[in-house]
Structure 1
Amino acid sequence: MTRNRPAWALTLVTAACVLLTLDITIVNVALPAVRDDLGSGLSGLQWVINAYTLVFASVLLTAGSLADSAGRRRVFTGGLAVFTLASLACGLAPSTVALNVSRAVQGLGGAFAFAPAMALIAGSYGGAARTKAIAIFGAATMGAGALGPLAGGVLVETLGWRSMFLLNVPLGAALLWLALRRLDADPPTGRVRLDLVGVVTLTTGVGAVTLALLRGADQGWSSTATLAQAGVGVLALAVFAVSQIRGAHPLLDLSLFRIRSFTGAAVSALLVRVVGFGLMAYLVLFLAAGYSYDAFDVGLRLLALSAPLMAGGLVAVRLGARVPPGGLIAAGFVVSAAGLAALTAADAGGSWARLLPGLVLLGSGLGLVSTPGMTVVMSVVPPSRTGTASGVIQSFLPLGTTLGTAVFGVMFSAHLHEAAGAAPALAGLDAGARERVADALEAGRIDAVAAAVPESLREAATAFGRDALAGALGLLGVAGAVVALAGAVLGALLIRRGDLLHTGAAGEAAEKSPADAP
């Protein structure tokens, strides 16, 4: 394969992946605007996020394998083209359904662009320069995800929510043009083998289970629809697992998980997105509803999370040479757990500064976890399998966002409905009216809470609504803290410096890369 010019490879690939990552979190602050413009409840708003991340996660494994065999630049540029065209469709969407379908196509293009990203960078550098380049890529993409709410807030308040997607069109086109001119074409390394059974069963399984989680509260957890969705999902995932064990060319290369550190990095990637980006939608709804903030104000407050996240990523880069990656990841998860637990101090309608310590700690911890994980992955597999390994690990990132959004959504909804059913402030209301109050809170509509009750109860119902939202956020914080502590234990136990040094050195020797400096 021809060597990519290192500076161009790092700059273009990182810029493209920043754009793709922004599209995971930038929409969070736009949810109230989308709700008002297109009309949608909590489930529809969740799919604005999950339609992108679910397809993204489901296709990344295929895209990673395809990149190794069909050519990494070809897959990268093709994915970027699809993402750019789908962004145009999102910006012009006339309904929530059309928006969610377009978001799914966006996720498809994003997956094909993202999967070979780390392999393109790793193939352009060697030695210590490779580790530094991957760390820069990881810090930039994670920082972009953290800055997404602020960027989204600025765009929503100045140009409207559709601008978040329409601006992707010129940016994506420019990056595509530069990539075709500046990235060296790499010839295919072998015949393309597509595991159709794996693609279909993985996508069906993850999609059906997520659908059951998102729709369970509305449909009823014991309803035929919910049980059928969950059953189809579990069956499809079981078939997927069997096909990966017995298939001649499996989608998921299970042999990679024999490397204990690779498994630890994959689990860490999943859990850091569960507790970070999975919680983001509900944090945004709380800030918007509890304090009546507009999109820009929400994004501005979330700088308390995003700035420490980027700082934590930079600290992780500097500490990487002196602190074992497993210890660094474990420490980051512990700091994140402390920040999540501190969200129990939320007080809607009071001072938002009560959230400040929790947001700072959470951002700092997420930054410490995210950067070393990518370095581990690229250092423990042979160079010929970096595209596949990159696809595996990158699929765990949006999958974590999807899983966190769905599971936290179930908890968020259940808490609000339970609180509405037992609230003394709603005394005298029938069960239907209490459900309408809970539905309004799910969508972050404090004004709709007041409209759903008699005038004599409006002040009390509004106060109840803010308290219920604070309680729901606190519950998610505690649950997230438990997940983060589990991540700390697994990171410390699974990720070993010995794996990093031995396999990474072998990989370097096999590749014999002359490009040792950025």
Structure 2
Amino acid sequence: MIGSRSTWALTLVTAACVLLTLDITIVNVALPAIRNDLGSGLAGLQWVINAYTLVFASVLLTAGSLADSAGRRRVFTGGLAVFTLASLACGLAPSTVALNVFRAVQGLGGAFAFAPAMAIIAGSYGGAARTRAIAIFGAATMGAGALGPLAGGVLVETLGWRSMFLINVPLGAALLWLALRRLEADPPAGRVRVDVIGVLTLTTGVAAVTLALLQGASQGWSSTATLAQAGAGVLALAVFVVSQARGAHPLLDLSLFRIRSFTGAAVSALLVRLVGFGLMAYLVLFLSAGYSYDAFDVGLRLLGMSAPLMAGGLAAVRLGARVPPGGLIAAGFVVSAAGLAALTAADAGGSWARLLPGLVLLGFGLGLVSTPGMTVVMSVVPPSRTGTASGVIQSFLPLGTTLGTAVFGLMFSAHLHAATGAAPALAGLDAGTRERIAGALEAGRIDAVAAAVPAPLGETAAAFGRDAIAGALSLLGVVAAALAVAGALLGALLIRRGDLLHTGEEKTPASRQATPDTA
């Protein structure tokens, strides 16, 4: 495709993926409204986010592989149709359980639409134009993720939380109609092979491990249920790796990871979402509980992160021609680490503006990391495998969000329970009352904390609760900063500019192994 067809491909695919990415973060600011309307604890609220991202991440590899054989436009438009219909169901959901089920279906459709996105763009452009197009796509989708809280805040405050899903229906239908008219038709599909064992073991493994992380605190970390979930997940993932190494038509070609730059970009994609968007839900809870902000106010203040994020993405596009991608990714992680460390300034009794320097640094750093990673992945594999490569990198993005939400949720919960159990301000309260207070804090319910104690202690308990949430956010900031530093080291060590010199060549990973720039 050339000329206007290339422009249409970039515009439609990017617009669709912006919509899909918004759905990962847009719900963060709506969690209090969903909680009040449908009723749910921390675990239920986490699944409003994770039901989408978990399925999204688990299915992306399948979708990417299928796109290479069945046709990229077919997979893209089919996924967009499922996503649009599931959005309607989410907007009409009568309960938290129903909402989470429909969110999972939404994630399924989103995965099939997202997986072939970069491959469609890569097939529409060549040379430097392709690099710029992928960079635009990366900056737009990452920026959409950061703008999600503001967009969600506007919709929640004006039309209610259900509007966040219902708005997808006309937008998704319009994009689907245009895609069927404007995207280049797929060639006739040959024999479509699906690695059934790979699909089942990967999905089961990721889901079971994440479930153990999410439910471990409530079930008990040494309980039979948690150990069974974790064990089943590890076993399924082990079977997945073995099946991919031995299968004739594997879902994931493990030889791709012999390309050092490919591995570095994939790990960077996982870490950038883990430290950025994995932390988002708890930052939103802090702003909501610590300052009593509504959804719009939270989203407005998170512009301090989203605007610099888009600026960082644009800066990465400009710097890409002069700075090696590994160096750019390392620099972005270092800037992000500085911003995350600054979150230790979180103080429910002071001004939210104390967080602003950290948010600005975090956003700009995330923008610097995201764009070059996508360009690297599409530049180090032969054109015939861009669908699979796109599926790999795209699956690592939501997987990072899911793992971050789960792991940080574990730490967030543990800190609140420990603080509640040792708080002098709650001295004299029985263990059951303290447990109820900790549970209320997990969901950001400062009002429930005050209601759980005798009236004279209400304000004291509420002040303690806000401080405890601030302390939990500070802890998460320190841990996330350490992970960002690790990302900087990996980016500098693994991603090599020489790999990009082979762009467009039909070389196998094995042949690349002989070059001095690959692992």
TM bucket, shorter chain: over 0.9
Residues 2, 185 of structure 1: 8 Å contact kept: no
1:476 aligns with 2:476: yes
Aligned to 1:513: none
Q: Gaps spanning 5+ residues in structure 1: where?
A: 509-518
Residues 35, 45 of structure 1: 8 Å contact kept: yes
Structure 2: how far apart are the matches of 1:108 and 1:189?
22
Aligned to 2:505: 506
Aligned to 1:146: 146
TM-score (norm 2): 0.96
Aligned to 1:443: 443
**Which digits, 9 at most, give the CA deviation of each residue in 1:370-427, with x for residues without a partner?**
0000110111111110000000110000000000000000000000000000000000
Residues 26, 152 of structure 1: 8 Å contact kept: yes
Task: Give, in angstroms, the shift of residue 190 of structure 1.
Answer: 3.5
Structure 2: how far apart are the matches of 1:186 and 1:240?
30
Residues 2, 186 of structure 1: 8 Å contact kept: no
RMSD: 1.2
2:233 maps to a residue whose letter is G
Aligned to 2:191: 191
1:296 aligns with 2:311: no
Q: After the TM superposition, which residues 32-181 of structure 1 pair with which residues of structure 2 at under 5 Å, given as runs?
A: 32-181=32-181
Structure 1: how far apart are the matches of 2:185 and 2:107?
24
> Tell me, what secondary structure is at the counterpart of 2:505?
helix
Aligned to 1:515: none
2:436 maps to a residue whose letter is R
Aligned to 2:514: none
Aligned to 2:511: none
Q: After the TM superposition, which residues 426-441 of structure 1 pair with which residues of structure 2 at under 5 Å, given as runs?
A: 426-441=426-441
Aligned to 1:21: 21
**Which digits, 9 at most, give the CA deviation of each residue in 1:197-248, with x for residues without a partner?**
1111111111011111111111111111111111111111111111111111
Q: After the TM superposition, which residues 30-429 of structure 1 pair with which residues of structure 2 at under 5 Å, given as runs?
A: 30-188=30-188, 190-429=190-429
Task: Give, in angstroms, the shift of residue 5 of structure 1.
Answer: 1.0
2:368 maps to a residue whose letter is L
Structure 2: how far apart are the matches of 1:414 and 1:324?
41
Task: Give, in angstroms, the shift of residue 505 of structure 1.
Answer: 5.1
Structure 2: how far apart are the matches of 1:439 and 1:248?
49
Residues 277, 401 of structure 2: 8 Å contact kept: yes
2:83 maps to a residue whose letter is F
| Identical-residue share of aligned pairs (%) | 89
Structure 2: how far apart are the matches of 1:432 and 1:162?
35
> Tell me, what secondary structure is at the counterpart of 2:251?
coil
Residues 3, 184 of structure 1: 8 Å contact kept: no
**Which digits, 9 at most, give the CA deviation of each residue in 1:465-485, with x for residues without a partner?**
111001000000000001000
Structure 1: how far apart are the matches of 2:35 and 2:325?
42
2:33 maps to a residue whose letter is A
Task: Give, in angstroms, the shift of residue 112 of structure 1.
Answer: 0.3
2:297 maps to a residue whose letter is D
Structure 2: how far apart are the matches of 1:4 and 1:325?
29
Structure 2: how far apart are the matches of 1:190 and 1:471?
57
Task: Give, in angstroms, the shift of residue 189 of structure 1.
Answer: 5.7
Residues 4, 183 of structure 1: 8 Å contact kept: no
Q: Gaps spanning 5+ residues in structure 2: where?
A: 508-519
Residues 4, 184 of structure 1: 8 Å contact kept: no
> Tell me, what secondary structure is at the counterpart of 2:124?
coil
Task: Give, in angstroms, the shift of residue 349 of structure 1.
Answer: 3.1
**Which digits, 9 at most, give the CA deviation of each residue in 1:287-313, with x for residues without a partner?**
000000000000000000000000000
Structure 1: how far apart are the matches of 2:300 and 2:150?
6
2:473 maps to a residue whose letter is L
Dislocated runs of 4+, deviation >2 Å: 1-4, 505-508
Task: Give, in angstroms, the shift of residue 368 of structure 1.
Answer: 0.3
Residues 381, 504 of structure 2: 8 Å contact kept: no
